[in-house]
Structure 1
């Protein structure tokens, strides 16, 4: 990383583009869950530029995403969404970018939403050819269907054991529900999967998808016995190279504040863009 390079500036236009990509991702994953579970299993409701999603019980896709760049929602729309979550015995969880319209935060807190956590969005401009880093003994390759179950096992296990450094994650999810959500996203969201191979075995997995020139880096994990060997760096640089080749102008990653994932991303040149506040209303 060039120490003299200015930090990437994130204006509201860039934040809105990233949040649209996030809305699309949540929508596609939730739609896939509804097809899997059957009619009436959940709901997707557009809301002021974002979406209110309920995929299935206890899913990480049960949230309001992308809110804040399409106007302030009215009381009737929020009433409807809150009833829909209450009917399924679930809280309403809103991820609200700090660059969104401030009136939305005021509106939600006035309705009883409470701030419970944060997550950070980091970005890296993709200019020119991106250099791949492949530590000795590690091969990164596109993951084929034959090894999908092992890839899924590694990624979901990483999700189940998040960073202990930094601010703790605000929620935990059942292993089988996370596995189902990852399957849905891979199948419906156009994700490109990567495996990291060491000593002939799949020891790491990652993915990314593209939308509106944004490369969303998702689902990276390394099996515990193979950590601290450069697997994550190899997976990251392979995805960045392919994202640039696909015409993306920015790569984004979401991390817990102060986490090892954030530290690693910033070491690779990622810049802090904005924070999402996690606001919850118990129904």
Structure 2
């Protein structure tokens, strides 16, 4: 399946580019949620990254992209913590291990606690990329006409995850997950469908930004697992990303998971790890009363 290649080395410059693409995705998906919710929520720039609250329970409620444009000052963090507090939400920071180490120390001093990790894997793209499909498997772009069926497959698969490796630190209700997928589509994520013997069996996403191909999730229906669908979805997206001119493909997995194993089999290398740092119940510290109904103006 694979030709000889040189493993991808990730320096701070590449990590910054990947994190910048992720920041753009979080920003655009969050703003799509705001449009659905009549402007409620916020997007706040902070030290090269973004603090985002999309809606209650959303996977886009986080601080992303910190670490490569200086250390955020106390006033910026105060503002962010107040904003999350007004939405009755903890503050979650996803911090790459290649980021400025002073940020981790700063967050720890402010009461943030390490809750989990996630791995960022990448692969250099070039002419050697080949589309490989196991027997009986077909992968194609998925249009709006089957969006609901695509969402059903993705949501059912996520509700019954593989148990190998470190479990995800977050779980989302089905309705929240489906709305988040719709928001990602509004943010430019292209959908892929995998069919096994003609039956819709897998779903995946791809977003292209600044030469980075973001593999925005992939899921296989439980009845169709262990038949090469994940590898087929990876292969199809690699070919399309290379044809679009991207020079690197990126996928995020849980450490030691089946998804990480599948990605490595397809030539992805572990680039860096994000530490997930969370501050719970910090509302009293910033003097804000909790409110489920706070409406915070979206920032430009």
| Structure 1 unaligned spans of 5+ | none
Q: How does 1:196-207 map to 2 (within 5 A)?
A: 196-207=194-205
Q: Kindly provide the CA deviation profile for residues 162-206 of structure 1, in whole angstroms up to 9, marking residues without a partner as x.
A: 3311111111111100110100111x2212211112233211111
Match of 1:279 in 2: 277
SS at match of 1:22: helix
- Corresponding residue for residue 104 of structure 2: 105
Residue 135 of structure 1: how far off its partner (Å) = 1.4
Distance 1:116 1:157 in 2: 26
1:132-165 per-position Cα deviation (integer Å, ceiling 9, x unaligned):
1111111111111111111111122233333311
DSSP 3-state at the match of 2:203: strand
The TM-score normalised by the length of structure 2 is: 0.91
RMSD between superposed Cα atoms in Å: 1.2
Aligned counterpart in structure 2 of residue 243 of structure 1, from 236, 241, 255? 241
Q: What corresponds to 1:91 in structure 2?
A: 90
Indicate which of 248, 253, 256 corresponds to 2:254.
256
Is it true that 1:14 corresponds to 2:14 in the alignment? yes
- Distance in 2 (alpha carbons) for counterparts of 1:10 and 1:200: 39
Alignment of 1:215-230 (within 5 A): 215-230=213-228
* Alpha-carbon separation, structure 2, partners of 1:95 and 1:160: 23
Alignment partner, residue 174 of structure 1 = 173
Q: Could you give the per-residue CA deviations for residues 62-118 of structure 1, whole angstroms, max 9, x where no partner exists?
A: 000111111110001100110111111110000000001111001000100000100
SS in 2 for 1:209: strand
Partners of 1:162 and 1:169 within 8 A in 2: no
TM alignment of 1:126-165, pairs within 5 A: 126-165=125-164
Count of residues in Structure 1 that have an aligned counterpart in Structure 2: 280
Alpha-carbon distance in 2 for matches of 1:7, 1:133 = 20
How far apart, CA to CA, are the structure 2 residues paired with 1:97 and 1:161? 28
Looking at structure 1, the residues matched to 211 and 221 of structure 2 have their Cα atoms a distance apart, in angstroms, of 31
Shift of 1:6: 4.3
Give the Cα–Cα distance (whole angstroms) in 2 for the partners of residues 250 and 96 of structure 1: 21
Residue in 2 that maps onto 1:233: 231
Q: Which residue of 2 aligns with 1:73?
A: 72
**Gaps in structure 2 of 5+ consecutive residues:** 282-300
Take 1:251 and 1:24, find their aligned partners in 2: how far apart are those partners?
A: 16
Retained in 2: the 8 A contact 1:195–1:202? yes
Moved more, 81-90 or 199-208: 199-208
Measure how far apart 1:43 and its partner are: 0.5
TM-score by length of 1: 0.96
Q: Secondary structure at the match of 1:8?
A: coil
SS in 2 for 1:100: coil
- Structure 1 segments (4+ residues) deviating >6 Å: none
Deviations 1:202-221 (A, max 9, x none): 11111101011000001211
